Homo-oligomer: A and B are copies of this chain.
Amino acid sequence: MNIDFTQEELDFQQEVRQFFAEHYPKDIQEKVKNNIHPTKDDFIRWQKILNDKGWLAENWPVEYGGTGWTPTQKYIVQQEKARAHVLGTIPFGVTMVAPVIYTYGNEEQKKRFLPDILESNVWWCQGYSEPGAGSDLAALKTSAVRDGDDYVINGTKTWTTLGHWAEWMFCLVRTDPDAPKKQQGISFILIDMSSPGITVSPILTLDEEREVNEVHFDNVRVPAVNLIGEENKGWTYAKLLLTHERTSIANVQNSKVRLESVKSLAKETPAHDGEGALWEDELFRTKVANVELDLTALEYTELRTLAAVASGGAPGPESSILKIKGTEVMQAIDELFVELAGYHAVPFTRAQYHDGFEGERIGDWFETNTGPHYFNNRKQSIFGGTNEIQKGIICKAVLGL
């Protein structure tokens, strides 16, 4: 057991820090720092820079363009990204669909899709959940019926994050409605979002932002060559992806930076009784400390999981812990921010947190964003498999209940 970085790791840390300092666009950094919603172009611009450096596909095998980083290196990169307020990489392409393509796709599919993902030429979205199939994902009904060289797709997908920006969707569809188990009749298919018959309609979340969508398919023809792997085996491929989603969702380094921000803001915020700083209030400090303890434990749980994966283990059902605790911590930090804002949690000033706002601001830079962020972020414990589902996974796969 040893907690220290090696000299090589320290050098790597330096390199990463320097690269971000020199190449991460300042305008995007300012937005992230100030809670301004980034644009589609911001994401693409930064991902292209990262990819030029070869640092986009952290988890891909080296042969496909991955970094080959050790768990410790990935941890260092996460730290440095959070430290420099680096805009997050949109996961749908590089983190989610790509591993499915390079693991289960054929050579032609790899050639066709992976380079565009690396170069952020194509924006992907996820077609998993349906209005009638949330936690019970395998109950999905969107149908794909083979007709000549195409599949004809009908149905509705929901909670499609940034689907209105997407050019392609990876999608779970039912190809065998008569399969004895509902998991067995599902296929994994890639869909060009410009295909006729697709409608993308917004779902506003509690911050009144358009982030998620409903996507309707009305006799949409999709070439059968877009099917990944075998027909009716999609559930297997999808599960791989869900595990990847779970391990990345803990967001430890991001939460650490946010918690530091809570601390420094609390030093400048008056206490609730207007006397002294909120940071001197032992109740507030204790809440921060308890969140920090949970977060520290989570950080080491994540490191242990990554170490186990690196030494040959799979990211097992324990990764459900990362989802549960990671979202609990995020949401606890959201609450601390609301408390920091005091009466200035009350005004709703959506425009202030978008590009091009010119009016007079209400409140300090963060204050009026705390409510909407807190409300919207309740999704964290719901999306990606609710925390109840994650507990169920622990019960079944770890405790054998």
**Residues of A that sit less than 8 Å from B by CB:** 282-283, 286
Contact = CB atoms under 8 A, between A and B. Distances in A.
A282 B282 CA distance: 7
A352 B178 CA distance: 73
A271 to B, nearest CB: 13
Q: Interface of chain A, helix or strand or loop or mixed?
A: helix
What 3 A-B pairs have minimum CB-CB distances, sorted nearest first? A282-B282, A283-B286, A282-B283
Contacts of A282: 282-283
3 contacts: A282-B282, A282-B283, A283-B286
Nearest to A281: B282
A276 to B, nearest CB: 14
Contacts of A283: 282, 286
A282 B283 CA distance: 8
Contacts of A286: 283
A286 B284 CA distance: 12
A286 B281 CA distance: 12
Nearest to A282: B282
A283 B283 CA distance: 7
A381 to B, nearest CB: 22
A37 to B, nearest CB: 38
A282 B281 CA distance: 10
A283 to B, nearest CB: 6
A291 to B, nearest CB: 16
A258 to B, nearest CB: 24
A283 B282 CA distance: 8
A133 to B, nearest CB: 23
A283 B286 CA distance: 8
A288 to B, nearest CB: 13
A293 to B, nearest CB: 14
A282 B286 CA distance: 10
A268 B369 CA distance: 46
A286 B286 CA distance: 11
A312 B286 CA distance: 48
A175 B282 CA distance: 62
A272 to B, nearest CB: 13
